[in-house]
A and B are shown apart, each in its own frame.
Chain A
Amino acid sequence: MRRNGPLALIFHGLFVIFMLAPLLIVCVVAFTPEGYLSLPTRGPSLRWFRAIFDYPEFIRAFRDSLWLAALSSTIAIMLAVPAALAIARYRFPGREAITALFMSPLMVPHVVLGIAFLRFFTQIGISGTFVGLVLSHIIVVIPFALRLVLAASYGIDRRIEHAAISLGAGTATVFRRVTLPLILPGVVSGWLLAAINSFDEVTMTVFIASPATVTLPVRMFLYIQDNIDPLIAAVSACLIAMTAILLFALDRLFGLDRLFVGSGKG
């Protein structure tokens, strides 16, 4: 295979600038010492980062988002593991339809899901509660959990399980000591991808969040709707820095290409 020519590298350079520019500008503006949106030409200042602590609603929303991501992705993975094992191992009537159903939250626009949950939760009286948020997030993150566990389940050599059974291990023991360790990489990466997607979800959540329970992206979205100032840039910069750290850790642990590429619709 031939190497990239100079034209290709210029194209690539411009593309990288395009991808990074909006993230960098947020981080730069966050350090402004002025009271309005501007580049920090008089030197950087931490004024707006300190200001975040005067707005407890951002801190509270951040804490709620973390809890929501942890809870919903844990429940999602507990539902996804048995479902993935069934889909990977058995040929049963309705198998394709069931798989398509579990993947459908990727297809249904999140606006529509948000509206459906708002209507449903209002009817059953849990609108605007944390329970409602968890239930709705389980649904939107299940496809991510299922896809990675499914990929891991297809790769298992079932003879190892048969060996365990022939040595007298019961169903529970086989699962705990043989199957689970074998699919563990898929379970962990599936959980992580589910948690990240839950943390970032805004379109559906904006419909069912209430002033009492609101996630960080929704709080930021509602704030931007009113006005854009250096404070929101500082909050976003913190989020970008956190994601960057997480990204490097993930790349070291799993390899990003393994986590994303070949997984089709992300």
Chain B
Amino acid sequence: MSGLVTQRNAPFLLTGPALLVFLGLVIIPLGMTVLLSFYDWGQYKGIVPEFTLKNWIEVFTDSYFFEIFMRTFRIAFLVTLAAILIGVPEAYILNRMSPAWRSAFLLVIIGPLLVSVVARTLGWALLLGSTGLVNQGLIALGLIKTPLEFMFTETGVVIALIHVLIPFMILAVWASLQRLDPQIENAALSLGAGRITIWRRVILPQIVPGILSGSIIVFALAASAFASPAIIGGRRLKVASTLAYDEFLNTLNWPLGAAVATLLLVALVLITVGSNRLIERRYAQVFE
């Protein structure tokens, strides 16, 4: 290194451009949004830059908002649970396949991640409609008489979100399965352990960190998902993100929308950072 670039200032010169971009385009806009949530708003006067707590009081006291936030986190929880129950066995099955089959099926599982979420959710809207294939199939099998309601219901939103987010769980669990020594499983087998015992006492404890980090990702993305709840849930079944969208682009009550968005951000940061801390403390030895 020569001239003005020294060992001391090099890292700051190198990260400088990106830092400036983040300062101007992330920190300042986010700060302005938080500030906006304390502004006043009226149907005819628009946004008034006067400090008020009324948006926050409204968000915390109106049961309408409470219901929407409860629904958002209920959906996120159910999606995460389903992603664990389906994703963990699937990752395990994938890991036991021959490399050729595995890379073929990896295409099938990762592929949808690259397809626009709008196209994928459209597929679920076609499948889940009252005359969709799922209902036709269930009626043809004689399982149900009248079509089930999936569109505009939480069940429909959960199904679509499982499809959108389960690849993240499989990737996280598979990454931890790859670090597993297959000989340990064989050792347990040779010592007379049954299949269930091996799963519970040998494999599961080693992949728990992977499951937990996958769960955090799936939960955070499910709680902030927008396109799938908007298309499957419609205008009637609102979640936090579609509520913020409506406040901003339909009602035009930006300060209230900003309060909803800020609350969603703060809640998610607390949940993800908190559970990360918990996992790192509990499984410190696994991460070393």
Contact = CB atoms under 8 A, between A and B. Distances in A.
Contact of B230 (A15, A85, A95, A225): A225
Interface residues on B, range: 35 or more
Most central of A12, A86, A112, A225 by chain B CB within 10 Å: A112
Contacts of A171: 1-2, 5
B148 interface: no
Nearest to A86: B14
A220 B230 CA distance: 13
Contacts of A142: 18
B127 interface: yes
A139 B26 contact: yes
Contacts of A135: 25
B28 to A, nearest CB: 7
B188 to A, nearest CB: 12
Interface string A200-241: 101100110000000011001100110010001100100110
Contact of B22 (A102, A202, A243): A102
Contacts of B113: 260, 266
Interface stretch (B56-64, B170-178, B280-288): B170-178
Contacts of A86: 10-12, 14-15
B241 A26 contact: no
Nearest to B25: A139
Interface in B8-61: 10-15, 17-19, 21-22, 25-26, 28-30, 32-33, 36
Nearest to A223: B118
Given A86-B11, A109-B264, A262 B119 contact: no
A176 B89 CA distance: 46
B108 A221 contact: no
B206 interface: no
Interface string A21-61: 11111100100000001000000000000000000000000
Nearest to A26: B123
Given A19-B163, A207-B248, A29 B126 contact: yes
User: What is the predominant secondary structure among interface residues of chain A facing chain B?
Assistant: helix
A167 interface: no
B97 A4 contact: yes
A158 interface: no
A160 interface: no
A244 B245 CA distance: 31
A246 B10 CA distance: 38
Nearest to A84: B14
A66 interface: no
Contacts of A115: 33, 244, 248, 257-258, 261
B277 interface: no
B245 A112 contact: no
Of A24, A120, A139, A228, the most chain B CB neighbours within 10 A belong to A120
Nearest to B172: A264
Contacts of A82: 13-15, 17-18
A120 B163 contact: no
Q: Shortest 3 CB-CB distances between A and B: which pairs?
A: A22-B123, A109-B224, A86-B14
Given A109-B265, A136-B25, 5 more contacts: A139-B22, A202-B117, A228-B122, A256-B107, A257-B106
19 contacts: A15-B86, A19-B166, A20-B108, A83-B18, A86-B15, A90-B7, A92-B11, A108-B26, A112-B33, A112-B244, A115-B258, A119-B32, A200-B116, A221-B118, A221-B227, A225-B231, A228-B125, A228-B126, A236-B118
